[in-house]
Every structure is written in C-alpha cells, then in structure tokens.
Amino acid sequence: MTFLPELGQNLCFARKKQFPRDNMKAFSLRVGISRATYQKMEKGDLSVSLKHYYQAAKLLRVENDFTRLFLLKESLFDD
C-alpha cells in the first residue's frame, strides 16, 4: 500500500478550512463515501479510488488543480 501523507494533509486542511464544522464523518457524507474510506484518504492512502479523491476535489472547488495533475510546464529548453 502506497501512502502520500502530503496529499492527505492537504485534504484535511482544505476540509477544515472550507467546512470548519464538518468532522470526518460529516464530510464523508458530503463526498458520498464511508468515514473509513475518507479516513484512508486523509492518510494519503492511494488504495482509495481516484474517483473519490476527485469527488472531494470537486466539493472543495479545487477540481481544476486536480485535472492539471500531469500537466507538464514548457521549459525554455524544450524543442
């Protein structure tokens, strides 16, 4: 199982900022997943479906950043 703790920390921070009254259970209901699945997400557990991460991103209004995940920036040295 692969973990990305920074991803989970960012998700937790965004949840607390955008929905300060929501605990994990309340926010997981907004996303449409179980609390256990959401708890894995805040740990950065990549065994969770990418779909769930995207649903959370949409709810937090950061889906544009999500869709640019693999977007490469052009360099001055590119052909």
What pTM, to 2 d.p., does this model score?
0.83
1-15, 21-35, 43-57, 62-76, range with the lowest pLDDT: 62-76
Task: Return mean pLDDT, the chain.
Answer: 91
> In order of start, what are the domains of the chain with their CATH numbers?
5-62 (1.10.260)
The reported pLDDT for the residue numbered 9 is: 95
- Measure the CA–CA gap between 27 and 21, rounded to whole angstroms: 9
Q: Mean of the pLDDT values across residues 55-70?
A: 90
| pLDDT at 32 exceeding the cut of 70 | yes
Q: Please, is 41 exposed, middle or buried when counting C-beta atoms within 10 Å of its C-beta (0-12, 13-18, 19+)?
A: buried
For residue 76, give the amino acid letter.
Answer: L
Of 2-11, 30-39, 52-61, minimum mean pLDDT range? 2-11
